[in-house]
Amino acid sequence: MHFARNQWYVAAWSADVGREPLGRIICNEPVVLYRMMSGEVVALEDICPHRLLPLSMGLVEGDDIRCRYHGLLLDSGGRCREMPGGDAPNAAVKVPPYAVTERYGFIWVWIGDQALADPARLPNLWMNEAEGWRVGGGTYHVKCDYRLIIDNLMDLSHETYVHSTSVGQKELHDFPIETRVEDARVITSRWMPDVTPPPLYKLSLGDYAGNVDRWQICYYLPPAGVIIDVGVAPVAEGLTLEDHDAAEIRSFVLDFITPETDRTCHYFWGSARTRDIDNEALFAEMTQRQGAVFLEDVEVLEAQQRMIDHCPDRKLRAFKVDSGGVRARLMLDKLVSAE
């Protein structure tokens, strides 16, 4: 299995966890999530210690969860409070709890050594909390190795062909990327001066019909996050890669890919934006359009995985455009082998 276990993984969007239990497999471990009366999130192994029914099929009662098969009741620490048939609770009947923390609009779970779970190790997603920014997004279940999605996000040359009607344009191949490693992150950037805006940006540009400077800065945040600083600015504004954060049309694409098994994953996608954030209809439309773009990736990624499985002896080749993904995988390999 190619997972680093001693890491925070996104288990769900905050809004997707409530009083109904939610079951999710993370790094091959079944996890059930629910909120206690206080709103705090609980994460337990999603396996009833009696006959192994998923607890996520059960019922939340107060802060406890009751198995829906024979009624075993566990508290939020995974300790048995009631046994089926009225036997006295047995201390050996329990499930392990997982460290869980809620931040930046996500529920994060720590699957590995529980003593090492430290919320200070979460990535810094300041844009998800900053005044004037708002996040929209969704979740896809994808039948591929999660690393294929990291490769995909660290090499945006695919946009020309996979996303030709939204963010793709042929000029993506005219301007080289630069890749570097900094602060335990891999950063791949592309600056595209004086290009026609791709279709999706035309919406945001309104009446402006001229050329733009466009940028894409991909940050790989180990183990399985990629955030991408993207935007365009009319050429006359004279922005540069260094001072582009003053641009009006700028957003962060947010991607957290949580391995489910070695061939499937949960893809939490979204973006943090500053424009039109109070216009509910427009905000929802932009999120829906972004979701449609990512579905184009899902089609490609699942087909790629099918072919990888069909000919397991073939190697993936890496060209210059893959430098970000290659560095990201090296960083990930180190984390995995250190465990």
Phi and psi angles of residue 225, each rounded to the nearest 5 degrees, phi first: -120, 145
What sign results for the dihedral spanned by CA atoms 274, 278, 279, 285?
positive
Cα–Cα dist 126/39, whole Å = 23
Q: How far, in Å, CA of 74 to CA of 63, rounded?
A: 9
Both tokens of residue 313? 């002896």
Residue from 297, 298, 329, 332 touching Fe ion (CB under 5 A): that is 297
Q: How many residues make up the chain in this entry?
A: 339
Interactions with ligand FES, residue window 76-105 (CB under 6 A): 84
Is the peptide bond between 223 and the residue preceding it cis, with omega within 30 degrees of 0? yes
Which span (3-11, 175-183, 187-195, 290-298) binds Fe ion, by CB under 5 A?
Answer: 290-298
How many residues touch Fe ion (CB under 5 A)?
Answer: 1
Give the residue with the Cβ less far from ligand FES, 97 or 168. 97
Residue 53 interacts with ligand FES (CB under 6 A): yes or no = yes
Ramachandran angles phi, psi of 142, nearest 5°: -120, 135
Least distance CB 300 / Fe ion (angstroms): 8
* Partner interacting with residue 19 (select from ligand FES, Fe ion, none; CB below 5-8 Å by kind): none
Q: Pick from ligand FES, Fe ion, none: which does 199 bind, CB < 5 to 8 A by kind?
A: none
Stretch that binds Fe ion, among 57-65, 94-102, 190-198, 295-303 (CB under 5 A): 295-303
- Answer with the entry of Fe ion, ligand FES, none that 50 interacts with (C-beta below 5 to 8 A by kind): ligand FES
Rounded Cα distance, 3 and 222, in Å = 11
Least separation in angstroms between CB 269 and Fe ion: 10
Tally of CB atoms within 10 A around 173: 11
Residues lying near ligand FES in the complex (CB under 6 A): 48, 50-51, 53, 67, 69-72, 84
